Amino acid sequence: MRFVFTLIFISGIFSTTAQTVLFNNGTVARMNPGCIVFINDGDVKNNTGIIKNAGLFTIENNFINNDTATGGNASGLYKV
């Protein structure tokens, strides 16, 4: 019984920590028109790069933008 409680407790700790799923560090990330990107469980961090989104970019957690995030010269949509 003690082993089961310990296992449940440890798995609870790991499930509550967020991860950076997409980390851009100096590149150009481009989403073309009609492209759909969905980040379900994790963060997006644009550190020193450029995100050109001409599609639909949905982020369920945090979007940390330290550089440039545009609509990709089109009508790109960010949902955060």
State pLDDT tens for residues 3-20.
Answer: 444 444 444 444 445 577
Is 6 inside any structural domain?
no
- 61 assigned to some structural domain: yes
Beta strands in 1-80 (DSSP E): 20-24, 28-31, 36-39, 43-46, 50-53, 56-59, 63-65, 68-70, 77-79
Interval 21-79: pLDDT, tens: 889 999 999 999 989 999 988 899 999 999 999 999 999 999 999 999 998 888 899 99
For residue 9, is it within any domain?
A: no
Asked whether residue 36 is domain-assigned, the answer is yes
User: Is 24 within the bounds of a domain?
Assistant: yes
The domain of 65 spans: 19-79
**Residue at 26 is within a domain:** yes
For residue 65, the one-letter residue type is N
Residue 4 lies in a domain: no
**Domains in the chain, number:** 1
Kindly state whether residue 56 falls inside one of the protein's structural domains: yes
